[in-house]
Structure 1
Amino acid sequence: MVSNPLPNLARWLGRQPWVMGTARFVLPTERLIRALSRNRIGVLDIAGLPSLRMTVTGRKSGLPRETSLLYVPRGEDFLIIGSNWGSRQHPVWSANLRAAGTALVRLHGETFPVSATEIDGVDRERAWDLAVEFWPGYRVEERLAGGREFRIFELRRR
């Protein structure tokens, strides 16, 4: 059986600093692929990387906000990292998730509620090590973010 070379290619690309500058192209491409596939697949899926679709209530608007995210598997739970492509600002979804504490996740055609816990302290160090081992590109994003500590959340099925 031939294995999919795309995850390894994606991991290599994720370690290249110039890739973070492609967000302005990747994000519209993500929306287009999602629209054409009726929300079944996105850019991360095509790259063979684990992705989930998260819907969280906007802390200011009260409206549902949806985003696609790379996740790090951790047992039956999921880690998501607020790297924001190495931006110096936290991603909006992380502030919304921090305020709401819950979200809906769509994964492999299934939608289910999750509770979200922001990880800190020693647990954060362990989670960060796991995340970087899984997606080495987080180190590049960390350097680009100029010292901003990424928010790390654990999502657990409710």
Structure 2
Amino acid sequence: MIGERLVQRVSATRGFARVAPHVVPVLDRAVHRLSRGRTLLSTRMLPGVILTSTGARSGLPRRTPLACLPAGDGWFLVGSNFGRTGHPAWTYNLLACPAAEISWKGRDVPVTARLLHGAERADAWRLLLAFWPPYAAYQDRVDREIRVFRLDRS
């Protein structure tokens, strides 16, 4: 429990936001490849997926390791960008082409993404803050509403 709280405190810092986007995805992709799709390094603290979306401009497949919150038969994804300005690229990809695929526990799962709004987003946000409190610090640092997506099996 102490270790988890420490990781959450560190994760909420601006220093983490500067370094993590350059380190965490690279390590996650390497562990995912070495484990033949069964795990990600970041899943030691949070559940995670590898999202394969279609590039909004390029039309090419884009693979992004992301934390997720499993919810029933679907998942929530948060476009926090580690509390940095600007929405992450993968969110634009899902807005342009909601059909995607995730690697979840070693299985490839076709999904459809939906950006949440209003009360549905507020309900999901409460769940997400209970799940990972640093999201609140990320939201406080940015001048945008952090995008929250619901992924459902296609």
- Please confirm whether the aligned pair reaches a TM-score higher than 0.5, indicating the same fold: yes
- Determine the C-alpha separation between the residues in 2 that align with 1:122 and 1:40: 35
Amino acid at match of 1:108: K
Q: Is the contact between residue 36 and residue 106 of structure 2 (CA under 8 Å) also seen in structure 1?
A: no
What is the TM-score with the length of structure 1 in the denominator?
0.85
The structure-2 alpha-carbon separation of the partners of 1:19 and 1:106, relative to structure 1 and needing over 3 Å to count, comes to same
Please tell me the root mean square deviation across aligned C-alpha atoms, in Å: 2.1
The structure-2 alpha-carbon separation of the partners of 1:72 and 1:123, relative to structure 1 and needing over 3 Å to count, comes to same
Q: How many correspondences in the alignment?
A: 153
Provide the residue aligned with 1:139 in structure 2. 136
Give structure 1 stretches of 5+ with no counterpart: none
Provide the residue aligned with 1:97 in structure 2. 94
Provide the residue aligned with 2:24 in structure 1. 26
Q: Is the contact between residue 105 and residue 114 of structure 1 (CA under 8 Å) also seen in structure 2?
A: yes
In the TM superposition, structure 1's runs of 4+ consecutive aligned residues that sit over 4 Å from their partners are 4-9
Which residue, 49, 52, 55 being the options, matches 1:55? Answer: 52
Provide the residue aligned with 2:144 in structure 1. 148
- Determine the C-alpha separation between the residues in 2 that align with 1:84 and 1:98: 16
Deviates more, 1:14-23 or 1:70-79: 14-23
Provide the residue aligned with 1:80 in structure 2. 77
The structure-2 alpha-carbon separation of the partners of 1:6 and 1:66, relative to structure 1 and needing over 3 Å to count, comes to farther
- SS, match of residue 135 in structure 2: helix
- Determine the C-alpha separation between the residues in 2 that align with 1:93 and 1:25: 17
What is the TM-score with the length of structure 2 in the denominator?
0.87
Q: Deviations over 1:119-144 (max 9, x none)?
A: 00111111111111111010111122
